[in-house]
Chains A and B, each alone.
Chain A
Amino acid sequence: MQDLTDIQQFIDFAEKELQVQGLSPQSEFRKISSWSSLNALLFISGVNEHADVLISSADLASCTTLGDIHSLIVNRIHGFSTN
């Protein structure tokens, strides 16, 4: 189980799920070569498994970078927004 509130563990998780190296919080996930509808679903499923957070397509649409998704997860876990 990874702690996805930790930014480095979140980036490690993203690199593993998307099978790509060299990602950073500034990486724009839609521009990652392996980002597809299936891999997006796997990514969201992994977030749910590790952090028990559900991310909707509307949530994702509001994000541009991996850092944005990480902030969303942190906010959900700390109760700043409804899940």
Chain B
Amino acid sequence: MALAQTKGASIEGIVTVVPSQTEDNSLLDLLTESERESLITHTGIRYRHIVPAGVRFVDYVQKATEILCEKLEWSSDSIDVFITVTQSPDQPLPSVSCDVHGKMGMPPHTLCFDINSGCSGFVYGLYTVYSLLQGLNKPGARAILICGDFSSRFTDPQDRSVKPVFSDAVSAIGIRFDAHSDTISGYFNLETVGKGFDAIKVTPPDAFMRMQGIDVFNYTLRYVPDNIQKLITYSGKKQEELQMAVFHQANRLINETIRKKAGFPEEKVPYTLYEYGNTGSATIPLTLGCAWNDGYDSSWILISGFGVGFSVASALIPFSPKVFGLPVEL
């Protein structure tokens, strides 16, 4: 168990970009009609956004970053930290972050690197950025965290377990640091269950993603509710005070089981599975952007990511972004 807390940072805005091209699970020819109905009912997933062949991941990252900067009125030369969480870069090296840094003309002092992480990646990325900002201790420092994948690159068109679930998206999260603030910006519980390595993996020789759905269900049920309860206890907060609980959008069956085990009411747990599917590390920021509205008070929320690794990461953060909204279709 890695329980930790950070100070001084806050999320200023979230922008998510998705391909406009969608695939409809109600028309999926891999399944019979009754299987398609059952799939949509139990996974909650109707549409998946899939990038056309030849589209580069880095271009989506750059576009999401540009839209975020425009909405926050941040210039690219004002970015102090730029971190990308992905498992589907266009090439093994150099990093996506360095590529975008060059394309957008960020300054030499911008701290840039990539993190290889999937479904828990937003929470791991947020902890990394918050910690880096605390280390920099620069008043008003700005960071951009990118989370997303083109999972369709790893999808076997004949795989009945993987194909109906995964979707492509990239989120850009703008984070600002207030060096004079002693306010806690997050409580984190970051865990790894490496014996679950085989539950989701890309395997040679075909390089397609294979998923043991039953094992994903088992690891999730065994570790995620406990991870959340330990986090809440560590924070000293009361569960009923939380404005919302946003889980990684795995599938509805898994998520509803977690929600019930963790004791959150339906109205506090938003879903974006129907329209956007499982977009890996982008699911939580994508869902936050969709579910948040101006009517909410500035208040604490729970975020919880879990999956490939097997990795589990939850956080309690204060959340009142200036920029949020539905994903932008490209």
In B26-52, the 8 Å CB interface with A consists of 35, 38-39, 42-43
Q: How would you classify the secondary structure of chain A's contact residues: helix, strand, loop or mixed?
A: helix
B257 touches A41 (CB 8 A): no
Given that A48-B221, A54-B221, A56-B218 are known contacts, is A41 also in contact with B35, CB under 8 Å in the complex? no
A40 touches B253 (CB 8 A): no
Q: Is A26 an interface residue (CB 8 A)?
A: no
A57 touches B160 (CB 8 A): no
A56 touches B42 (CB 8 A): no
CA distance A61 to B200 in the complex (A): 18
Q: Is A60 an interface residue (CB 8 A)?
A: yes
B35 touches A45 (CB 8 A): no
Q: Is A44 an interface residue (CB 8 A)?
A: yes
CA distance A41 to B222 in the complex (A): 15
B215 touches A36 (CB 8 A): no
CA distance A38 to B30 in the complex (A): 13
From A41, A48, A49, A54, contact of B213 by CB (8 A): A41
Contacts of B161 in A (CB 8 A): 37-38
Contacts of B222 in A (CB 8 A): 54
A45 touches B253 (CB 8 A): yes
Contacts of B42 in A (CB 8 A): 38, 41-42
Number of interface residues of A (CB under 8 A): 16
Contacts of A23 in B (CB 8 A): none
Contacts of A74 in B (CB 8 A): none
A40 touches B38 (CB 8 A): no
Contacts of A41 in B (CB 8 A): 42, 213-214, 217, 253
Given that A45-B253, A54-B222 are known contacts, is A37 also in contact with B217, CB under 8 Å in the complex? no
In A9-60, the 8 Å CB interface with B consists of 36-42, 44-45, 48-49, 54-57, 60
CA distance A42 to B214 in the complex (A): 9
In B215-274, the 8 Å CB interface with A consists of 215, 217-218, 221-222, 253, 257
B221 touches A37 (CB 8 A): no
Q: Is B181 an interface residue (CB 8 A)?
A: no
Given that A40-B214, A57-B214, A60-B214 are known contacts, is A48 also in contact with B257, CB under 8 Å in the complex? yes
CA distance A72 to B215 in the complex (A): 16
CB distance from A10 to the nearest CB of B (A): 18
Contacts of B213 in A (CB 8 A): 37-38, 40-41
CB distance from B32 to the nearest CB of A (A): 10
Contacts of A36 in B (CB 8 A): 35, 160
- CB nearest neighbor in A for B159: A37
Given that A45-B217, A55-B214, A56-B218 are known contacts, is A37 also in contact with B160, CB under 8 Å in the complex? yes
A36-B160, A37-B161 given. 17 additional CB < 8 A pairs? A37-B160, A38-B35, A38-B38, A38-B42, A38-B43, A38-B161, A39-B38, A41-B253, A44-B217, A48-B257, A49-B257, A54-B218, A54-B222, A56-B218, A57-B214, A57-B215, A60-B214
Q: Show 9 residue pairs from A and B whose CB-CB distance is below 8 angstroms, ordered by the A residue.
A: A36-B160, A38-B39, A39-B38, A40-B214, A41-B213, A44-B214, A44-B218, A48-B221, A48-B257
